[in-house]
Chains A and B, each alone.
Chain A
Amino acid sequence: MPEQDPKIRSANFEEVALGYDEATARQEAERCLQCKKPGCTVGCPVGVRIPEFILAVREGNMPKAVEEMKVKNNLPAICGRVCPQEVQCEGKCILTKKGEAVAIGRLERFVGDYELAHRTCPLTAAPATGKKIAVVGTGPAGLTCAVDLAREGHKVTMFESLHGPGGVLVYGIPEFRLPKKVVFGEIDYAVECLGIDVRNDHVVGRSISLNELLEQYDAVFLGTGAGLPSFMRIPGINLNGVMSANEFLTRVNLMKGYLFPDYTTPVKLGKKVAVVGGGNVAMDAARCSQRMQAVQAKQTGAGPGEVHIIYRRSKEEVPARAEEFHHAIEEGIICDLLTNPVEIIGDESGKVSKIRCIRMELGEPDTSGRRKPVPIAGSEFEMEMDTVIFALGTSPNPLVFVDADGLERTKHGTAVADDESGRTRKRRVWAGGDVVSGAATVISAMGAGKRAAADMHKFLKDEAPW
Chain B
Amino acid sequence: MYKILEKQVLSDVVKLMVIEAPHIAQRAKAGQFTIVRIDEQGERIPLTIADYDSKAGTITIIFQEVGQSTMHLGTLNVGDSIASFAGPLGHPTEIENFGTVICTGGGVGIAPIYPIARALKQAGNKVISIIAARNKDLLFWEDKMRAVSDEIHVCTDDGSHGRKGVVTDPLKEILESKKENIAKIWAIGPAIMMKFVSLTTKPFNVPTIVSLNTIMIDGTGMCGGCRVLLDEGAKFVCVDGPEFDGHKVDWSSLMSRLSYYRDEEKAALEHWKEHKCKLDKAIAEGGR
Contact = CB atoms under 8 A, between A and B. Distances in A.
A264 B228 CA distance: 24
Given A161-B86, A231-B234, A246 B224 contact: yes
Interface string A260-273: 11111110100000
B75 to A, nearest CB: 14
| Highest count of chain A CB atoms <10 Å: which of B69, B225, B265 | B225
B84 A200 contact: yes
A243 interface: yes
Interface in B216-241: 217-218, 220-225, 227-229, 233-234, 239
A206 B27 contact: yes
Contact of A207 (B23, B41, B83, B222): B23
Contact of A227 (B83, B220, B272): B220
B34 to A, nearest CB: 9
B253 interface: yes
B223 A250 contact: yes
B68 A264 contact: yes
A255 interface: yes
Interface stretch (B121-129, B134-142, B162-170, B256-264): B256-264
A203 B220 CA distance: 8
B247 interface: no
Contacts of A262: 41, 271
A268 B44 CA distance: 16
By size class, the interface of chain B is 35 or more
B85 interface: yes
A397 B236 CA distance: 12
Contacts of A163: 37, 44, 83-84, 86
B155 interface: no
A239 B223 CA distance: 15
Contacts of B264: 260-261, 266, 268
Given A260-B268, A265-B44, A399-B239, A206 B88 contact: yes
A162 interface: yes
A247 interface: yes
Interface in A227-275: 227-229, 231, 233, 237-241, 243-244, 246-247, 250-251, 254-256, 260-266, 268
A228 B23 contact: no
Contact of A255 (B44, B89, B239, B257): B44
B107 interface: no
Contacts of B89: 203, 206
A428 B272 CA distance: 49
A202 B221 CA distance: 14
Nearest to B69: A264
Interface string A356-386: 0000000000000000000000000000000
B256 A349 contact: yes
| Highest count of chain A CB atoms <10 Å: which of B43, B218, B261 | B218
Contacts of A200: 84
Given A202-B86, A350-B252, 20 more contacts: A162-B218, A163-B37, A171-B222, A201-B87, A207-B86, A207-B88, A208-B23, A238-B234, A243-B223, A243-B224, A243-B225, A244-B224, A246-B223, A251-B223, A254-B217, A262-B271, A264-B41, A266-B267, A349-B256, A350-B256
Contacts of B86: 161-163, 201-203, 207
Contacts of B220: 161, 203, 206, 227, 397, 399
Interface in B23-54: 23-24, 26-27, 35, 37, 41-44
Q: Dominant SS at the B interface?
A: mixed
A250 B23 contact: no
By size class, the interface of chain A is 35 or more
A72 interface: no
Interface string B116-157: 000000000000000000000000000000000000000000
A55 B253 CA distance: 62
Contacts of A251: 217, 223
B87 A207 contact: yes
B43 A265 contact: yes
A229 B42 contact: no
Contacts of A203: 86-87, 89, 220
Given A261-B271, A266-B261, A397-B222, A199 B44 contact: no
A229 B87 contact: no
Interface in A285-315: none
Nearest to B265: A266
A264 B43 contact: yes
Interface of B: 23-24, 26-27, 35, 37, 41-44, 68-69, 83-89, 217-218, 220-225, 227-229, 233-234, 239, 250, 252-253, 256-257, 260-261, 264-265, 267-268, 271-272
A238 B223 contact: no
Nearest to A267: B264
A246 B69 CA distance: 22
Contacts of A239: 253
A124 to B, nearest CB: 30
A229 B224 contact: yes
Contacts of B88: 206-207
B188 to A, nearest CB: 20
Contact of A238 (B68, B227, B239): B227
A238 B44 contact: no
Nearest to A265: B43
17 contacts: A201-B85, A201-B87, A203-B220, A206-B220, A208-B27, A227-B221, A229-B222, A231-B234, A238-B227, A250-B222, A254-B217, A260-B264, A261-B268, A265-B44, A349-B256, A398-B221, A398-B239
Contacts of B41: 256, 262-264
A207 B27 contact: yes
A401 to B, nearest CB: 12
Nearest to B250: A238
A201 B36 CA distance: 10
A128 B257 CA distance: 53
B30 to A, nearest CB: 15
Nearest to A161: B220
Give me the 8 closest cross-chain CB pairs, A-B, nearest first.
Answer: A266-B264, A350-B256, A247-B223, A163-B84, A261-B271, A201-B86, A265-B43, A227-B222
Contact of A244 (B26, B223, B233): B223
Contacts of B228: 238
Contacts of A250: 217-218, 222-223
Given A200-B84, A207-B88, A161 B260 contact: no
B47 to A, nearest CB: 14
Contacts of B223: 229, 243-244, 246-247, 250-251
A192 to B, nearest CB: 19
A329 to B, nearest CB: 28
